Amino acid sequence: MQSSIHLKTNSKSLALADTGKTGILLINLGTPEATDYRSMRRYLKQFLSDKRVVESSGPVWWLVLNGIILRKRPKTSGRAYDLIWNRELDESPLKTVTRSQAAALAKMFGGKANVVVDWAMRYGKPSIDDVLQRLTDKGCDRILLFPLYPQYSGATTGTALDNVFDVLKTMRHQPTIRSVAPYYDHPAHIKALADSIRAHHATLDWEPEVTIASLHGLPVDFIKKGDPYQDQCEATVAMLREELGFPDWKLLLTYQSRSGRTEWLTPDTEETAVGLARDGIKNLTIIAPGFATDCIETLEELHIRAVDAFLKAGGVNCSVIPCLNDSTDSINMLKTLIDSNLQGWI
Torsion angle (degrees, nearest 10) of CA 57, 58, 61, 63 = 150
* Cα–Cα dist 161/289, whole Å: 22
* 6 annotated to bind ligand: no
Q: Are strands 176-179 and 140-147 parallel, antiparallel or unpaired?
A: parallel
* CB contact at 8 A, 35 and 78: yes
* Pairwise CA distance, residues 95 & 266, whole Å: 29
Tell whether residue 216 is among the known ligand binding residues. Answer: yes
Which residues are CB-neighbours of 18 under 8 A, at least 6 positions away? none
Sign of the dihedral through C-alpha 25, 31, 33, 39:
positive
Euclidean distance between CA atoms 108 and 290, whole angstroms: 24
* Residues contacting residue 158 through CB under 8 Å, at least 6 positions apart: 52, 152
Residue 211, classed as helix, strand or coil, is strand
Residue 219 DSSP code: B
In this structure, what is the dihedral angle of CA atoms 331, 333, 335, 340, given to the nearest 10 degrees? -170
- Other Cβ atoms less than 10 A from the Cβ of 162: the count is 16
Which residue ranges make up the annotated binding site for Fe(2+)? 216, 297
